[in-house]
Chains A and B, each alone.
Chain A
Amino acid sequence: MTDLLNLARQAVLTPSGLQDGDIEKIMNCLLSASVDDADIYFQSSHSESWVMEGGIIKEGSHSIEQGAGVRAVSGEKTGFAYSDRIELPVLLEAAGNVKAIVRHGQQAQMGMIKSAKWPRYYPIVNPLPSLATLQKIDLLKTVDSETRKLDPRIEEVIVSLSGTYENILVANQDGSLSADVRPLVRMNVSVIVEENGRREQGSMGGGGRSDYNYFIEQDRALNYGKEAVRQALVNLGAGEAPAGNMTVVLGPGWPGILLHEAIGHGLEGDFNRKGTSAFSGRVGERVASDLCTVVDDGTLPGRRGSLSIDDEGTPTEQTILIENGILKGYMQDKLNARLMGVKSTGNGRRESYAHLPMPRMTNTYMLPGQHDPEEIIKSVKKGLYAKNFAGGQVDITSGKFVFSASEAYLIEDGKITRPVKGATLIGNGPDVLTKVSMVGNDLELDSGVGTCGKDGQSVPVGVGQPTLKIDGLTVGGTSV
């Protein structure tokens, strides 16, 4: 761990000439007011992206983002300032500003600087140089040409590749210094196909906390292309989607976005502390059928939503949200945990040094059940099989959520019959899991594409689930 700390020190402090002693000075300035929590968050992040379109390497970009955020919390009050200049006078001024929110109290001192220990769930690696630039270009070109060969109806292929190398260092008032090195890579292939004047699109991608070799291993990159083309061709033959309330079977993996929207956000600590969530005050109550156990887990090795420590320096864990249908607990950051009298679950996340942390999901998924997926389809007389989704959204107060299918089929007499156009599905978060009547034995996690937005802050997340049967969800098609 000392190595990790030194690495982070080198990445975020050394360029600005800041020392541990300077961190103490800034912290002690914050601690001259009566605070419950105080932290300084240093971040340095290098990213690049490459785009191939129209058969050429069209764009490339490189960006560096670095800065520090200074926070003081007292009761429910938070003072916050940040700067992209990691310089002692600038950060001392920021500290002076933010403590103004807090009543004056006893002068405290930062504890002795010490480094904490915790397990790590991804390699300490900088993905950017993991392939030489020419190799990245070759990868894009290969995926582009191999994908174009798959079908004559392909009109356009867009391939993108991006990577981020991020170092963070969090100093807390007790003197603990936590660091993390966070690699993240992402690749995407989208295609447009045309037949008899009708155009459709398909898109597939993935990634994780790894380096670029991830896309070469197991032919992942080439498979994204195949999957994007398959989806687009299915949609070429899709008819009108049905409208109304019906039985819906959700496929495994990315459709787990249902869990993220329908219940995940509603179980974030801030909404529940404030009593603004449809799930507020319901711990111990039944919120799902007894087939459902849902967890949020930041500890899955190499996943896009995983973190070794959250952005407040708390190690992540597997948090049981719902066990056999009973609501067990919420996802917490430090502030909300303290105010609710529980401990942080390692879900305090922020988009960057320029944003305040709040309770956010990591990888949210449902544990597998007993049923063979085919058995589940067979049990449906008439309904919708939704295999793939675009985004979703939730109103955590009313509990209403939506998510949009991008690949769906009709189920008639226990068989998947024909594809239908994408449609939005809408439901009520606190009800939807009570209608889960079958859970498959085929748990899958998504391929590493999720980005979650809350209060204008975006963070990478993961979702997953086995095949699920829901007895009654509203499908927003046009065929009345």
Chain B
Amino acid sequence: MQNQEQINQLKNTVQDLLDEAKKQGATAAEAGLSQDNGLSVSVRLGEVETLEYHCDQGLGVTVYFGQRKGSASTTDLSPASIKETVSAACSIARFTSEDAFSGLPEQQLLATEFPDLELYHPWDINADKAIALATECEDAARSFHPEISNSEGASVNSHQGIRVMGNSLGFLQGYAATRHSLSCSVLAQRGDSMQRDYWYSVARNALHLESAVAIGNKAAERTLRRLEGRSLSTRQCPVLYCAETASGLLGSFIGAISGGNLYRKSSFLLDALGSQVFPEFVRIHEQPHLKAALGSAAYDGEGVATKPRDIVTGGILQGYVLGTYSARKLGMQSTGNAGGVHNLTIDPGTLDFDGMLKELNTGLLVTELMGQGVNMVTGDYSRGAAGFWVENGQIQYPVEEITIAGNLKDMLKNIVAVGNDVDYRGNIRTGSILVEQLSIAGE
């Protein structure tokens, strides 16, 4: 396989980096290297808008002199540049402080098994085929309904890359991965009301992408349903987060149990380990070894083995999300999460989306969130939102220019149900989530 040859070549470069670090006096070192290339095309109003060829590479190295650390990176992979990059990292390590918690992961935590996670599925697509596919997608959206008035276009992206990492404990691994996507965004107009929405599909394997027509239709449908949105009066009511917005809610939870925020004491879930954070029916777990999934990895950003594990069982927090440094600061062990979680999954309930609407009964369905508005330290939450007002389980009208606010600690505890309408397009897999009560501010 041509890939294996390239991986081996890059492994040699990483080994050269590690050797150079040793030569320059480092007591330990870690290095990573990536090479990516890809093609993006976008088509707007039936004409090609952009054709882009991507080609990126980069290397990074971290050296340790005892407990002092320095890092450097470059986009230039030439031997001369490798030497300079290592020496830049070494000269920084002369000025950083001794930090008792710094250093490479414990040897016994490093991954030793490297199953084929089936992440590499090259797509035999050239510019012409990609243009044809994007055109088909945009055409479907534009011809969906006469009120579809304009377009931001459809685009096809195909990327493949290789990542190699190694450290002076003898870890040296690499893998190839692909990522393909097809997306479409259109506008609709009715009187003075102009709206825009989009839909996309993303997968490791292009065969797993939704069809161009389905994506176009969905983009159009989602845009049309937003027309003539209105604000709501200020009130309190239950809120149903659709699957796409629900993943943001879980993302905030993960932020709060991440090592960096915990040891800095800037989390609203300090010392929450072993306590009830969610209602009893909630289970949240990581599935790092799923085949061909977007968040799969055999090892984390430091080479530590990833493993399937429960983060929340019976609503009780079972573990944090830690890399080596934050784990040591907390007197714990790395959980294999340097660089983040892997296919974080909240177990779906029994209700589909319509069932969740019925469960909501009367309240707000949130389909879009705007702005940051999340205070990790206190859990205070206030974000711009758009969606639909729902009565008796039926969507009544689109809603916009409102905010929803609460405190995340309460919001997580007050989850009423999780749907089985799971969105698989990201690293966080969740269905829609119903939260008991939030403050809505509007006109």
Q: Which residues of A contact B (CB under 8 A)?
A: 48, 53, 56-67, 76-85, 94, 97-98, 100-101, 133-134, 137, 155-156, 158, 192, 194, 198-201, 241, 243-245, 274-276, 278, 354, 356, 390-395, 397-398, 400-404, 421-428, 474-480
Query: What's the least CB distance linking A26 to chain B, in Å?
Result: 15
* Contact B51 A398, beta carbon cutoff 8 Å: no
Asked whether, in the complex, the Cβ of A243 is within 8 Å of the Cβ of B54, the reply is no
Given contacts A79-B51, A398-B386, 9 further A-B contacts (CB under 8 A): A57-B96, A60-B93, A62-B89, A77-B49, A81-B55, A82-B55, A245-B234, A278-B194, A395-B386
Q: How many Å from the CB of B174 to the closest CB on chain A?
A: 19
Cross-chain contact of B372 among A63, A391, A394 (Cβ < 8 A): A391
| B170 interface hit (Cβ, 8 Å) | no
Residue from the set B54, B265, B441 with the largest chain A CB neighbour count within 10 Å = B441
Could you tell me if A84 and B378 are in contact, using CB atoms closer than 8 angstroms? no
Q: Are B377 and A98 in contact (CB under 8 A)?
A: no
Q: Are A56 and B85 in contact (CB under 8 A)?
A: no
Whether, in the assembled complex, B52 has its beta carbon less than 8 Å from a beta carbon of chain A, the answer is: yes
User: Which of B98, B370, B402 has its CB near the most chain A CB atoms (within 10 A)?
Assistant: B370
**Cβ contact within 8 Å between B266 and A192:** yes
Contact between chains at A78 and B49 (CB < 8 Å)? yes
Contact B403 A424 (CB under 8 A): yes
- Asked if A64 and B75 sit within 8 Å, CB to CB, the answer is yes
Residue of A155, A391, A475 touching B371 (CB-CB under 8 A): A391
Q: Give 20 A-B contacts (CB < 8 Å), ordered by A residue.
A: A56-B97, A60-B71, A62-B88, A77-B50, A82-B53, A82-B54, A84-B56, A133-B95, A156-B265, A199-B377, A245-B442, A390-B373, A398-B196, A402-B371, A421-B378, A423-B373, A424-B403, A425-B403, A426-B384, A478-B405
Question: Is A422 touching B441 in the complex (CB atoms < 8 A)?
Answer: no
Q: In the complex, how many angstroms separate the beta carbon of A101 from the nearest chain B beta carbon?
A: 5
Is the CB of B214 closer than 8 A to any CB of chain A?
Answer: no
Contact: A426 with B370, CB < 8 Å? Answer: yes
Q: Are B96 and A192 in contact (CB under 8 A)?
A: no
| Chain A residues whose C-beta falls within 8 Å of the C-beta of B74 in the assembled complex | 63-65
Q: A64–B74 Cα gap in the complex (Å)?
A: 5
Chain A residues near B407 (CB, 8 Å)? 478
A56–B329 alpha-carbon span in the complex (Å): 14
CA distance A194 to B50 in the complex (A): 52
**Alpha-carbon distance between A260 and B308 when the two chains are bound, in angstroms:** 44
Contacts of A241 in B (CB 8 A): 382, 405
Cβ-neighbour of A276 out of B52, B56, B196 (below 8 A): B196
Q: How far is the CA of A60 from the CA of B92 in the complex (A)?
A: 6
Taking CB atoms, residues of chain A closer than 8 Å to B96 are 56-60
| Inter-chain contacts of A77 with B (CB < 8 A) | 47-51
- Choice from B98, B386, B439 contacting A243 with Cβ under 8 Å: B439
Tell me how far the C-beta of B145 lies from the nearest C-beta in chain A, rounded to whole angstroms. Answer: 17
Given A57-B96, A76-B49, A476–B403 Cβ distance below 8 Å?
Answer: yes
Q: What residue in chain A is nearest B236 (Cβ atoms)? A: A480
Residues A80 and B51 in contact, CB atoms below 8 Å apart: yes
- Check if A84 sits within 8 Å of B371, measured CB to CB: no
A-B pairs, top 10 by smallest CB distance, nearest first, are A476-B403, A402-B384, A56-B97, A402-B371, A397-B196, A243-B441, A60-B92, A81-B53, A61-B71, A84-B75
- For B54-95 the 0/1 string (1 means CB < 8 A from A) is 111110000000000111111110000100010011011101
A58 to B89, CA, bound (A): 14
Question: A56-B99, A81-B55 given as contacts; is B75 within 8 A of A62 (CB)?
Answer: no
CB-CB under 8 A from B391, the residues of chain A are none
Question: How many angstroms between the C-alpha atoms of A421 and B386 in the bound complex?
Answer: 23
In the assembled complex, the CB of A370 is this many whole angstroms from the nearest CB of chain B, namely: 30
CB-CB nearest in chain A for B439: A478
What are the interface flags for B211-236 relative to A under an 8 Å C-beta threshold, 1 for contact and 0 otherwise? 00000000000000010010100111
Q: Please state if A476 and B441 are interface contacts (CB–CB under 8 Å).
A: yes
Q: Does B280 contact A (CB under 8 A)?
A: no
Q: Which residue of B lies closest to A198 (CB)?
A: B378
List, in ascending order, chain B residues with CB within 8 A of A101's CB: 48, 51, 127
Interface: B27 (CB within 8 A):
no
Distance between Cα atoms of A78 and B41 in the complex (Å): 10
Q: How many chain B residues touch the partner (CB < 8 A)?
A: 74
A422-B95 contact in complex given A66-B76, A392-B371, C-beta closer than 8 Å? no
Q: Which residues of A contact B401 (CB under 8 A)?
A: 400, 426-428, 474
Closest-by-CB residue of B relative to A47 is B73
Docked-complex contact B75 and A100, CB < 8 angstroms? no
Interface residues of B in 11-52 (CB under 8 A from A): 44, 47-52
With contact pairs A65-B75, A243-B441, A393-B370 given, residues A354 and B95 touching in the complex (Cβ less than 8 Å):
no
Residues of A within 8 A of B371 (CB): 391-393, 402-404, 424
A60-B231 Cα distance, complex, nearest whole Å: 48
Interface presence of B264 (CB below 8 A): yes
Name the distance in Å between A97's Cβ and chain B's nearest Cβ.
Answer: 5
**For B49, what are the chain A residues with a Cβ–Cβ distance below 8 Å?**
76-78
Q: Identify which of A84, A200, A395 contacts B55 (C-beta below 8 A).
A: A84
Which of B47, B81, B231, B372 sits near A404, CB closer than 8 Å? B372
B414 at the interface (CB under 8 A from A): no
List, in ascending order, chain A residues with CB within 8 A of B313's CB.
Answer: none
Contact code string B396-431 (vs A, CB < 8 Å = 1, else 0):
000011111111000000000000000000000000
Q: Are B150 and A274 in contact (CB under 8 A)?
A: yes
Beta-carbon contacts of B288-302 to A below 8 Å, as 1s and 0s?
000000000000000
Interface: B383 (CB within 8 A): yes
- Per-residue CB contact flags for chain B residues 189-201 toward chain A (1 = under 8 Å, else 0) read 0000011100000
Alpha-carbon separation in the docked complex, A192 to B93 (Å): 27
Query: Are the C-beta atoms of A155 and B265 separated by less than 8 Å?
Result: yes
Report the minimum CB–CB distance from B329 to chain A (whole Å).
9
* From B54, B89, B92, B195, contact of A397 by CB (8 A): B195
User: Which residue from chain B places its CB closest to the CB of A134 in the assembled complex?
Assistant: B95
**Complex contact B52–A423 (CB within 8 A):** no
What does the 1/0 interface line of B99-113 toward A look like (CB < 8 Å)? 100000000000000
A477 close to B382 (CB less than 8 A):
yes
User: For B58, B73, B236, B384, which residue has the most chain A Cβ atoms within 10 angstroms?
Assistant: B384
